[in-house]
Structure 1
Amino acid sequence: MLTLLNLLSAVALLIWGTHIVRTGILRVYGTALRRLLGQNISKRPLAFIAGILVTAVVQSSNATAMLTTSFVGQGLMTLVPALTIMLGADVGTALMSRVLTLDLSWLSPLLIFLGVIFFLSRKQTRLGQLGRVSIGLGLIILALQLIVEASAPITHAQGMKVLFGSLTGDILLDALVGALFAMVSYSSLAAVLLTATLAEAGVISLPVAIGLVIGANIGSGLLAFMSTSMQNTPGRQVALGSLLYKLIGLLLVIPVLHPLVNWMDSLHFDAQTMVIGFHVLYNTLRCLLLLPTTGHMARLCERVLQAPAETHSQAGPRHLDPTALSTPGLALANATRETLRIGDIVELMLGKTLNVLRGEQTALTQEMRSLGDEAEALYSAVKLYLAQMPREDLSERDSHRWAETLELAVNLNLACDLIERMLRKVQQQKTSQRRSFSATGLEELTVLHTQLMANLRLGLNVYLNADPDSAQQLLKEKRRFRAQERRLNHAHVSRLQRQVVQSLETSSLHLELIADMKRLNSLFCASAYAVLGASDTGALMPEAYPDTP
């Protein structure tokens, strides 16, 4: 019982080490890997190589599958290059299994020791995350050693002999067991490494080991397909194509299994080398053989999983991919894109406000209400998405960007509410009291509205690009807006002194709208402070920018 527990704990350590390496690499180089995969790779060889490289770095074909399906789901990549990348991912994980079976026992304590030092001392920096990766690599090597030690007594245990003896080399049964183990361990790499270790210890025969390896590949395909169950149809099509390719590989190897085993036995290599060698050879030949068929597979997947008919509704988030939450850089990029969508809605609502002021449309149409509801839904989605990010693992730069994104989302949501309140005031004035602005008053509101629209666009640009010069310009425009707001208030009071009837009737509404626009302008210009920093107050000093007439 203790021997079995030691084996299970060693397997768990192997899975955990693989997870640490994958998450550490994605947190440090996730944006670069996403950029590599996100390029429009039209040539199959380039996409194939990209899949190999990314998977070799993150040590997980499942992680590559998550990135790729996310791209396809967001319309950033077509199905054919995505399937090609997935074939390359299968080769990449096979190559990593070969590297990890080398004699690296001396390296494990060194990697763990250095990794702990860097991770604890500089946790929030890139060097600290690389220390996390070092810990994971050390744990993987240590786990493999523990598996070998724990497997040795199993070969003499009668119960284990009966259990593994039930696997007689039936490739379909062995493949099923291998697929189940890969799904339980959430890693085909861990399943293959354990299979090689058990074969080396003599617990399982070579034909059984080959079946388990093939099944582990199928299990990783099932994992990828199940993980995309909540994604849209294009993302699921990628996972389906990858799974079908793995099943085709099983069908291709069945007729040649016995001749292949006999040939491998004649090579007189140790069992571990033959199992890992078969894994590399099988995945490489299978993927190269199926590489020219990605176009046909894409069409098949599109027929099997047909996308639902598109609707004209724009509500709901488009870019908040939950699979990217483990990679802060990727998740923040998604949140940025969704927050800018809220900005687009605010700009649209603000643009329609001018038509309401001019009396060209009803104050609160159904379209305006729908835009407000959509902005509220996007704000809630962005807020919850940011809340799910592991903030303790964010770098200083990413933490700053996280705060910027949340602040902008809050400000834009407040702006939507404020615009709706402005429209209700106008509606009440025009419908219940039948009053309208004077020509001069309407012109003044139009001028202020034009400045407000320009500052909104500049504020979104400052948030997106984090350009200090644009931020300085935004603060300059904020002060100009304040000066303009004061002049318009004084001009309105002057009309009241001249007893202009329309100005007298709409005085309260006129001044309230100017005050509301001032609040909106403050919300739109807040992004400048995040770029320039709290210490940069010179931009608001009166002598910095003289009032312009």
Structure 2
Amino acid sequence: MGSLVLLDLMGGVALLLWGLHMVHSGILRAFGPDLRSLLAKALKNRFAAFAAGIGLTALLQSSTATALIASSFTADGLVSLVPALAIMLGANVGTTLIVQVLSFNVAAMAPVLFVIGLVAFRSGARSWIKDVGRVSIGLGLMLLALHILLDTLAPAENAPGMRVFLNAITGDPALCIAIGAIVTWAVHSSVASVLLVMSLAYAHFISPFAALALVLGANLGSAINPVFEGAHRNNPASYRLPVGNLVNRLVGVLLVAPFLRPIADLLQNWQPDLAKMTAEFHTIFNIATAILFIGLLDSMAGLLKKLLPSRIQEVDPSRPRYLDDSALETPSLALADAARETLHMGDLVEVMLRQVMAAMMTNDRTLADRISRMDNSIDSLDEAIKLYMTKLTRGSLDEREGKRAMEIISFTINLEHIGDIIDKNLSELATKKIKRRFEFSPEGAEELLAFHKRTMDSLRIAFGVFMSGDVNEARKLLAEKALLRNAEIAATERHLDRLREGRPETIETTSLHLDVLRDLRRIHSHICSVAYPVLDTAGEPPTHQNAENDPAALPIDLSGKARTESRRESLPPPARRLANRI
């Protein structure tokens, strides 16, 4: 009998946790970006933050999720510690609201929620309606789980073995608090823990005194998870918010625990229904804790800053800045984070491209040596972004999100290729020029700098296309690809003219000059890759996917080759041998 009851109890708890997960993930998928934006706006003063914490946690049904979002804001320095602590006080109150609703007998609503959720979920391609359907199914599962728990515990009320076991582990208040904290920490949900305690109290398996002690433990346990999940070990300052929230809960528990018996007697006289009494104590405790600490947040923030100072660290460019694992449950947020990290990677590529040309023109060996280290950082970011996107794509993505994920991966790969060209080719060319003390002719240097500037301008346009998906800018980028190919041909012809004239600086730098042009054009081709998905999404197939096969560029290319061949014939034999290497 006891083993069957325990098995049914575990099944009911598992169903309850899965229902909570569906509600949480459905809300995040439907309204995640809006909720995050709303939270960022609300974190301006403690009272607005407190209200936002209540509303957000009531929707998400997870104070841990709210804590992780608030922690990311404080870790990035976007908000101060006081409003962040206030939002956690609100989150602790918000998590009690669903418990209050479910303390009433609303199990009859479960079939209705299932039907509504199923219709919405199967309405077509995933949208906010489908996500709301997920929420409806999750709520129905929670109601069904509570019904299973009550039906399981009711006939077991007279089981002497179960009653003796529960009385043994709930007789001591300290043990009750510890059990409640451990269970809540393990299941990552104070809502599930409190609902389970309500079911046990309603079936008279535990005393009112034990129920209140377990609720105190559940409140304490829900503050433990963010300490381990929302902080970074290499930065003590990231522990300020979760530790502050844990201290609030701990102080509240210590203040209330000695008076649990008179509180239990008072509440039982006022509310005979033990399930409702448990839910009401849960709410009262969190409201009282919020009232107690809302005015003390400045002093607490100052103390936390002294105990957990910011660690001054050198900025590691190879370390991802925006890849937040807590956002993986919300594809839109995770994709935004990955796009920001890709731009971070693009910034490093832009710096590399600028510095390699500066090193080449100024014969600065220090700049040339720095390029290789920067390429290692780009490789690290490339791996981190790919790993993050792999984790994201393991979940369910709709067509639009899947396409955006592939765009991010594609652009990341192309940026990594650009870094390799700069490191393995342009940087080596710069080093070769510096070692041999070569100098470009004034005209040749001017041509290379102009070509380089157009490449840099296209890179900045590509960043805009990547983030905005602007079709006009994508067209502009591909048009520039054809123009740059023509510019390469024209620059090659002018170089051959100088070579035919026998200018010494042109002869000694001819292979360098032509190789730099070639590598910059290759870089530009990788830059332009970001335009193709944008035009494809707009239903406008690109006409310049390959500059060599571009119909608009082909006549110019052919005539350029013809002119180049004719000029080669008029070169002196040594210069002609060099030109044939083109």
**Alignment partner for residue 58 of structure 2, among 46, 49, 56?**
56
Corresponding position of 1:241: 244
Q: Does residue 519 in structure 1 map to residue 522 in structure 2? A: yes
Give the aligned partner of residue 176 of structure 1.
178
Distance, in Å, in 1 between the alignment partners of 2:76 and 2:258 is 40
Match of 1:33 in 2: 35
Judged with a 3 Å threshold, the aligned counterparts in structure 2 of structure 1 residues 221 and 321 are, in CA distance, closer, same or farther, namely same
Q: Which moved more, 1:530-539 or 1:59-68?
A: 530-539
Letter in 1 for 2:432: Q
1:10 aligns with 2:12: yes
1:224, distance to aligned residue in structure 2 (A): 1.9
Q: Quick check: 458-467 or 212-221, which moved more?
A: 458-467
Q: Is the 8 A contact 2:356 2:368 kept in 1?
A: no
SS of 2:95's equivalent? helix
How far did 1:287 drift? 1.0
Contact 2:67 2:230 in 1 (8 A): no
- Per mean C-alpha deviation after superposition, the further-off stretch among 201-210 and 534-543 is 534-543
Residues 53-102 of structure 1: CA deviation (Å, up to 9, x unaligned): 11011111111111111222222222111111111000000111111233
For structure 1, which segment, 386-395 or 227-236, has the greater mean C-alpha deviation from structure 2 after superposition?
A: 227-236
Contact 2:378 2:419 in 1 (8 A): yes
Q: 2:70 aligned with 1:68, yes or no?
A: yes
Q: Unaligned stretches of 5+ in structure 2?
A: 545-549, 557-582
CA gap of 1:392–1:178, structure 2 versus 1, over 3 A, is closer
Asked if the contact 1:364–1:423 (Cα under 8 Å) also holds between the matched residues in 2, the reply is no
- Other-structure match for 2:96: 94
Aligned-partner Cα distance in 1 for 2:238–2:271: 44
Establish whether residue 507 from structure 1 lines up as the match of residue 510 from structure 2: yes
Give the deviation of 1:167 after TM superposition. Answer: 4.7
Deviation at residue 268 of structure 1 after TM alignment: 4.4
Cα deviation for residue 476 of structure 1 reads 2.7
Distance 1:97 1:313, change over 3 A: same
1:47 pairs with one of 40, 49, 66: 49
Q: 1:496 aligns with which of 475, 494, 499?
A: 499
Q: Hey, what's the Cα distance between the residues in 2 that align with 1:422 and 1:365?
A: 9
Distance 2:42 2:498 in 1: 61
Q: Which residue of 2 aligns with 1:424?
A: 428
> Which is bigger in relative contact order (C-alpha 8 A, separation at least 6)?
1
1:92-117 residue CA offsets vs partner (Å, 9 max, x unmatched): 00111111233222221232234334
Q: Which residue of 2 aligns with 1:453?
A: 456
Q: Which amino acid aligns with 1:289?
A: L
1:266-305 equivalence runs, <5 A: 266-305=269-308
Q: Identity percentage over the alignment? A: 37
Shift of 1:127: 2.7
Cα distance in 2 between the residues matched to 1:363 and 1:526? 32
2:547 corresponds to: none
Residues 156-203 of structure 1, C-alpha deviation per residue, up to 9 Å, x if partnerless?
Answer: 111211112125554322211111121222211000011111111111
- 8 Å CA contact retained: 2:19, 2:142: yes
Q: Which residue of 1 aligns with 2:336?
A: 333
Deviation at 1:49, TM superposition (A): 0.7
Q: Normalization by structure 1: what TM-score?
A: 0.94
Match of 1:482 among 469, 479, 485: 485
Alignment of 1:109-258 (within 5 A): 109-120=111-122, 122=124, 124-167=126-169, 170-230=172-232, 232-258=235-261
Q: CA deviation at 1:457?
A: 0.8
Are the counterparts in 1 of residues 327 and 333 from structure 2 also a CA contact under 8 Å?
Answer: yes
Could you give the per-residue CA deviations for residues 320-373 of structure 1, whole angstroms, max 9, x where no partner exists? 112221111221121111111111111111111222221341276442222111
Structure 2 Cα separation of the partners of residues 12 and 142 of structure 1: 12
Q: Is the 8 A contact 2:42 2:48 kept in 1?
A: no
Contact 2:182–2:221 (Cα < 8 Å) also in 1: yes
| Change over 3 Å in CA distance of 1:307–1:363 after alignment to 2 | closer
Change beyond 3 A, Cα 1:516–1:53: same
Deviation larger for 75-84 or 225-234: 225-234
Q: Secondary structure at the match of 2:126?
A: coil
Q: Counterpart in 2 of 1:399?
A: 402
Larger Rg: 2
Selected match of 1:380 from 378, 383, 390:
383
Q: Deviations over 1:265-312 (max 9, x none)?
A: 222431111111111111112112211112222222223333323224
For 1:370 and 1:56, how far apart are their aligned partners in 2? 48
- State the distance in 1 between where 2:315 and 2:230 align: 24
Secondary structure of 1:358's aligned partner:
helix
Is residue 443 from structure 1 mapped to residue 408 from structure 2 by the alignment?
Answer: no
Residues 312 and 271 (structure 1 numbering): CA distance in 2 closer, same or farther, change over 3 Å? closer
With over 3 angstroms needed to count, the CA separation of the structure-2 counterparts of 1:123 and 1:156, relative to structure 1, is farther
Residue by residue, what CA displacement relative to the aligned partner does 1:14-44 show, whole Å, maximum 9, x if unpaired? Answer: 0111012111211221111111222362211
Q: 1:353 aligns with which of 340, 352, 356?
A: 356
Q: Which residue of 1 aligns with 2:540?
A: 536
Structure 1 residue runs of 5 or longer lacking an equivalent are none
Distance 2:315 2:9 in 1: 55
Write the distance in 2 (CA, Å) between the matches of 1:537 and 1:276: 60
Q: Which amino acid aligns with 2:176?
A: D
Using the alignment, how far apart are the partners of 2:484 and 2:27 within structure 1? 46
Counterpart CA distance in 2 for 1:416 and 1:265 is: 70
Larger mean Cα displacement after TM superposition, 129-138 or 250-259? 250-259
Report if the CA contact (8 A) 1:74-1:318 is conserved: no
CA distance in 2, matches of 1:240, 1:472: 52
Q: CA deviation at 1:429?
A: 4.0
Distance (Å, rounded) in 1 between the aligned partners of 2:120 and 2:202: 35
Q: In the TM superposition, what is the alpha-carbon distance from 1:249 to its structure 2 partner?
A: 0.8
Count of residues in Structure 1 that have an aligned counterpart in Structure 2: 545
Residues 372-399 of structure 1 deviation map (CA, whole Å, 9 limit, x = unaligned) = 1111111111111111114542233222
TM-score (structure 2 length as normaliser): 0.89
Quick one: distance in 1 between partners of 2:22 and 2:447? 60
